[in-house]
Amino acid sequence: MRCSEMFAPTLREVPAEAEVVSHQLMLRAGMMRKAASGMYTYMPLAWRVLKKIMQIIREEMDATGGQELLLPIVQPAEIWRETGRWNVYGEEMFRLKDRHGREFCLGPTHEEIITALVKGDVRSYRQLPLLLYQIQDKFRDEIRPRFGLMRGREFIMKDLYSFDRDEEGLERTYKKMYAAYTRIFRRCGLHFRPVEADSGAIGGSATHEFMVIADSGEAAIVYCLNCDYAANTEKAECLSPEHAAANLLALEEVATPGQRTIDEVAKFLHVGPERCLKTLFYAADDKVVGVIVRGDHEVNEIKLQNYLACVHLALAAPETVQALTGAPTGYAGPVGLKNVTLLADYAAAAVQNGICGANREHAHLMNVNSGRDYEPRAILDLRLITTHDPCPRCGGEVKFARGIEVGQVFKLGTKYSKALDCSFLDEKGQEKPIVMGCYGIGVSRTMAAAIEQNSDANGIVWPVPIAPFHVIVVPVSVKDSAQMDMAEQIYRTLQEAGLETAIDDRDERPGVKFKDADLIGYPVRVTVGNKAVAEGTVEVKVRRTGAEFKYALDDYVRQIKELLGNLSDS
């Protein structure tokens, strides 16, 4: 590729709209432009990267027995109504009507339509297992698109759906896909971690997310320093603490004028926040529930929602709290509360002689004990894990990290096959629902995640396997025919050797070309200037390390290949 012909308009300045580094650099490197909020055009350089990522995915999916197909983007409402998700998906789904007034959506995911397909054409256990996948654009009308490709409204996704005859089959498929995902992200050159996750709206049982570790990630994960446990904090289990016997003191009301928050109350009464009980009220669909956690803990709404099996969950309005407790927010407590279901977190119920709101303004209760002073409907794990918690597997120390979710593997079970009546006949002629799994990879997000993880002050530092080109040849002056002849010669030779090579034949000053090369992130740069011509050597600079080498004319191809190989391994 000749840079003089390449459509990759680079920008010196950072567009004001870009916040995260991947977004800034892709705009600056001339890789993408915005069409609308959350919707982007992928320009040639980005498309080369995306094709490489997709190629890696295809190879690994095919190796696992997957077969690629292409499903419609526009899907009829009918099949979504059958699974109940036409309503569950809510505002996040792009909806449209055809000229006859029939309803459709732009596919946010494809479980429905693929299940409908398989239902029509799979009859026998002999046709199972079946692994079908597709790579294409998906649409989700995010509340708030942000961070460029990280959370777009149109994005490229790979989805594989598996159809097995039973749970054992699903388990085998799941393990194969998990292994394939590990290979895919490793091949992309990413630093990542699979974590246990919550299955969320899609439903199903076991699920893992593949997280690219990056501080800009939207997801918080927790991992154990001792064993290989790692989980999304939404999912991470908190163990029930050991119950220690203690002297239960008499309940006592104290005046706490103007002290509303846990911090204020704890400081005012000279106790740690772990002695306090935080009582929150949630509106769960059309009911209200009270949730008690320790003062230094936070409610995990995912766990709460899963327990309640509700569709909508949000903190109750202050007026609701006032009506239930008879006090303004800040003075709520479980003691004496009627007419509301109370749930307590393990750690909260274990607090002895604790402190909580008295359900009267400017007053709190001391020496509150679960079982004596209040009786929750249930005591369970309802909070977010902290770094003070032990690893739920081995008891070791846990740490937090942030991650970008680039892939997720799900055991769906029979949720969709039952809803859509997708079944097969086994050897005995018995009809059974197909057991499903689904496995997604955010392709465009993976590209962004790769940049989040691989950039410096000068621009992108592509991992070799997904770099748009391997090598850029930069003649210092295109007006110098000796330089140009040598550059062209090297360019042709590298191409013939199978390396994806670009030559910056633009009539620009060398500084401009070097800056652009760094920005775009070619892993290896060959500079052809007077020195190279005079010495008859090939000057090579490695983008990632900045290391420079001089190679002999009869050996540089091998050397560059070796360099690229070493870069891929690290």
Partner RNA sequence: CGGGACGUAGCGCAGCUUGGUAGCGCACCUCGCUUGGGACGAGGGGGCCGCAGGUUCAAAUCCUGUCGUCCCGACCA
Residues that bind RNA (CB under 7 A): 10-17, 19, 28, 34, 36-38, 143-147, 260-262, 278-281, 293, 298-299, 301, 314-318, 321, 329-332, 458, 476-479, 507-512, 514-519, 525, 527-532, 539, 541
Q: What is the distance between the alpha carbons of residues 214 and 218, in angstroms, rounded to a whole number?
A: 9
Q: CB atoms < 10 A from the CB of 78, how many?
A: 13
Residue closer to RNA by CB (options 36, 74) is 36
Gyration radius from the chain CA atoms: 29
Query: How far apart are CB 498 and RNA at their closest, in Å?
Result: 25
Q: How far is CA 380 from CA 184, 241, 299, 353, 389, in A?
A: 38, 11, 12, 20, 16
Complex with RNA: residue 70 or 143, whichever CB lies closer: 143
CB of 77 to RNA, least distance (A): 22
Q: Which is nearer to RNA, 162 or 256 (CB)?
A: 256
Q: What minimum distance in Å lies between the beta carbon of 252 and RNA?
A: 20
Structural contact between residues 238 and 350, judged by C-beta atoms closer than 8 angstroms: no
Write out the two tokens for 51.
């094709």
Residue with Cβ nearer RNA (37 or 55): 37
Question: In terms of CB distance, is 118 or 262 closer to RNA?
Answer: 262
**Least separation, in Å, of the C-beta of 412 and RNA?**
27
C-alpha 315/C-alpha 301 separation (Å) is 10
CB atoms within 10 A of CB 251: 14
Report how far residue 539's alpha carbon sits from residue 490's, in angstroms, rounded to the nearest whole number.
Answer: 11
Which C-beta is closer to RNA: that of 167 or that of 298?
A: 298
- Cβ of residue 84: shortest distance to RNA, in angstroms? 23
Residue among 4 and 205 whose Cβ is closer to RNA = 4
Integer CA distances (angstroms), 309 to 224, 420, 565, in order: 29, 22, 51
- The beta-carbon contacts of 55-60 under 8 Å, at least 24 apart in sequence, are 56/184, 56/187, 56/188, 56/465, 56/466, 57/135, 57/158, 57/184, 57/441, 57/443, 58/135, 60/180, 60/181, 60/183, 60/184, 60/187
Q: Which amino acid is at 16?
A: A
| CB 217, min distance to RNA, A | 13
Token pair recorded at residue 364: 């709190």
Helical packing angle, 44-63 and 167-187, nearest 10°: 140
Supply the minimum distance, in Å, between the C-beta of residue 438 and RNA. 25
| Residue 72 vs 546, nearer CB to RNA | 546
Residue 201 CB, shortest distance to RNA, in Å, is 16
